[in-house]
Every structure is written in structure tokens, then in C-alpha cells.
Amino acid sequence: MSRSRAPRLTPLGPSIALATPGAIADAARLIRAGRLVGFPTETVYGLGANALSAAAVQRVFRAKGRPRSDPLIVHLASAEELPRVTRSVPDAARHLAGAHWPGPLTLVLPRAEAVPAIVSAGRETVAVRVPAHPVAIALLAAADRPIAAPSANRYGHVSPTSAVHVADDLGHRVDLILDGGPTDVGIESTVLDLTADPPEILRLGGVTFEMLRLSLPNVVQRVLASQDARSPGTAMRHYAPRARVLLFPDGADGWRRALATARDIAGRCESIAVLGPDRLIEEAPHGTLLLSWGASDDAEIARRLFALLRRADSEGVDSIVAVLPPPGGLRDAVRDRLTRAASGRVIASDLT
């Protein structure tokens, strides 16, 4: 018997589908059936499950290899759905939702009983946000369920900003990945605890401290702590590539030291990447993998950061020499992620 075409092979890759209306409907059916769906938000890709099903949420923890002590964010199609998942909605929440939703702000509020305790790792609170991505909103509307979704990466790894990143990390552990292209913000949402007095930023992200202070003058910011029971996802080594990250301060001394270190490592013929703005990258030694985040556009830096860290891994680089951007605005969230990728260590400059 002759065969004109190659035999059909069992697909080896995970199921990535362009986020067409049909694929979104399939994904919504999967969510209702308690399965896992990777989907785009404006920040990073999420690994979604029905937030009202303990069994479905359990699958999320297993697929990510995430400790059960680290709570998940619940996504809603609109702020009107808040009473489905929260016991009460303080005025500040209404106000902030009006100003920032849909968008990269997560609010920690009192948890309604309908939300299984596993979602919040046993806390009395629940973290909620309305994402600003048409695919996420369409999925939430079609599923007609709140969707619990952490970033769709293996625990501790860099968050995914494309569908391929999700497939690389989770493969067959996810039932379907909706491809909505690269994400726009590129880093995760800002997590704000409104059950604390004064309200406290647990994680900096797409909404800056300066923006929050406009509507919430008494907001405080958590200092970078090695481990914190209130928001366990802020562990010091997090958002980390496989490669070792050697992180240097912003400014002329930091840059000089970074380049000297890069030359040193390259001189030993070890594989190395340099990560930073164009002006630094131009000075990187020959043979270095160049990871430029552009000139000085904050949004661009945030958008590119995680893909650059993943690129270093896919190129098999052993070390990444990186510099911090200057403080302020969205750059503070980038500084936070880079510092965690470097296990909390910024190498002080000694060249003055």
C-alpha cells in the first residue's frame, strides 16, 4: 500500500490556537469543565481555571509546581462582578476600579465564601483584577466564571509574554493556549492590599506607585523582603532565568563595572549576555549576546524585559550581566524584577 502523505503523527507540541472566536468558545468550555487554559492579558499570559472550583484550581498549582501557600489572582470580566468573589467592596476599591480597571492593578479584598480557600491559600482575602485584553475579557464573558490565573510559567521562572513562552514552560500541562500575540505591558499587575491599613503595595507592576498615590495619598510600599508571609509570591529568587544574573547599579560607575565584568567573563570564553539600554550594549565585548531594551522608553523596557531574559536561556547563556534602569515610574517595577532575577543581589560599584 502506498501512501501519498506522511503518516499522521501524535502531536508532540501543546495545543496553541490563534485566539479566534471559535477558539475562545472552546477555551470557555474547557474552563467550565474544570480544565486549564493559557490566555493573554495585557500584562503577561495567565494559566486560567474556574476560580469557583477547588478541583480546577488544584490543577493550576500542580501544573505550575507552585506551593499551595502562594495565593492566586482571580480575574473578572468587569468590576460589577466583584460581589461574586468578595465579601464587601470598600469605597477605595470602587474608586480604584473606576480609575484603573480594566488594567494592571490587582486589589486584595475580603474573600467571599463562594471562592474556595485554596485560591487564596487559606487566607480570608482574595486578590482580584479586571484585565485589559480583549481575549481575556471575551474568555471571561464566554466562560461566565471568575478565572483564577497566576502567570503561566513554571514556579519561580520568568513570566510568559507570548503563547510560545507558555508552551515552553508548561507544554502538555495546559489543555489549550490561546495565542493573542505578545503582551503589551510585559510585567505583571501591581498588587495592592486594601485590607491593610494604610493600604499597602505588595508587588509593583503595571500601575506605578506615583499613579496610585494620586487617588490613595496614604498608600505605602512594601520594601523588598526576602520572604513575606502576606504575599508569598514575592520570594527573593523569582522571575529568574536559568542563567546567573550579575546585576549592577544604574549610573556611570555601575556601567563601567558591568562592562569590565562582561569583558572578564568573555575573556574566559564563557558564554555571556549583556542586558541594558542601547548605549550600554554598544560597548559590550565581542562575542556577547546583546539584549537591548531600547533607548529609554519605560514602557518599552517593561515590554521587552522578560522576553530578553528568556532569550538568554534559549541561547544557552551561562551569565547575564545587567544594569538597573534609574528609579521612578514603571522602571521601579523593572528594577524589582531584575533584582529578584539576581536573587536580590546588586553588585556595588567599587570604581569611583
Residues that bind Mg ion (CB under 5 A): 151
Q: Which residues pair with 74 in a beta bridge?
A: 128, 148
| Phi-psi group of 240: left, alpha or beta (phi > 0 → left; psi -120 to 50 → alpha; rest → beta) | beta
Angstrom distance (rounded) from CA 45 to CA 37? 10
Distance in Å, CB of 191 to ligand TXA, minimum: 5
Longest pairwise C-alpha distance within the chain: 78
Site for ligand TXA contains 116 (CB under 6 A): no
The residue range among 102-110, 137-145, 266-274, 316-324 that interacts with ligand TXA, by the rule CB under 6 A, is 102-110
Do 233 and 333 touch, CB atoms closer than 8 A? no
Give the one residue of 51, 63, 79, 108 binding ligand TXA; rule: CB under 6 A.
Answer: 108
Site for ligand TXA contains 123 (CB under 6 A): yes
Site for ligand TXA contains 161 (CB under 6 A): no
325 binds, among ligand TXA, Mg ion, none (CB under 5 to 8 A by kind): none
Smaller CB separation from ligand TXA, 122 or 316: 122
The residue range among 3-11, 172-180, 231-239, 332-340 that interacts with ligand TXA, by the rule CB under 6 A, is 231-239
Do 65 and 155 touch, CB atoms closer than 8 A? yes
Smaller CB separation from ligand TXA, 70 or 283: 70
86 binds, among Mg ion, ligand TXA, none (CB under 5 to 8 A by kind): none
Site for ligand TXA contains 72 (CB under 6 A): yes
Give the one residue of 191, 266, 302, 309 binding ligand TXA; rule: CB under 6 A.
Answer: 191
Distance in Å, CB of 322 to ligand TXA, minimum: 21
Give the one residue of 53, 162, 208, 234 binding ligand TXA; rule: CB under 6 A.
Answer: 234
Name the nearest CA neighbour of 320 among 338, 334, 294.
338
Name the nearest CA neighbour of 274 among 237, 246, 249, 242.
246
Distance in Å, CB of 64 to ligand TXA, minimum: 8
288 binds, among ligand TXA, Mg ion, none (CB under 5 to 8 A by kind): none
Q: What number of other Cβ atoms are within 10 A of residue 229's Cβ?
A: 8
Do 15 and 175 touch, CB atoms closer than 8 A? yes
DSSP letters along 260-295, please? HHHHHHHHTT--EEEEE-HHHHTTPPTTPEEEE--S
Angstrom distance (rounded) from CA 199 to CA 311? 37
Do 150 and 73 touch, CB atoms closer than 8 A? yes
The residue range among 42-50, 53-61, 276-284, 303-311 that interacts with ligand TXA, by the rule CB under 6 A, is 42-50
Smaller CB separation from ligand TXA, 122 or 287: 122
CA dihedral angle for residue 310, residue 314, residue 319, residue 324, rounded to 10 degrees: -20
The residue range among 17-25, 117-125, 217-225, 310-318 that interacts with ligand TXA, by the rule CB under 6 A, is 117-125
232 binds, among Mg ion, ligand TXA, none (CB under 5 to 8 A by kind): ligand TXA
Angstrom distance (rounded) from CA 102 to CA 105? 8
Give the one residue of 16, 19, 44, 194 binding ligand TXA; rule: CB under 6 A.
Answer: 44
Radius of gyration in angstroms for the set of CA atoms belonging to the chain, rounded to a whole number: 21
Smaller CB separation from Mg ion, 151 or 190: 151
Which residues sit at the interface with ligand TXA, rule CB under 6 A? 41, 43-44, 46, 70-73, 104, 106, 108, 120, 123, 125-127, 131, 149-151, 188-189, 191, 202-203, 230-234
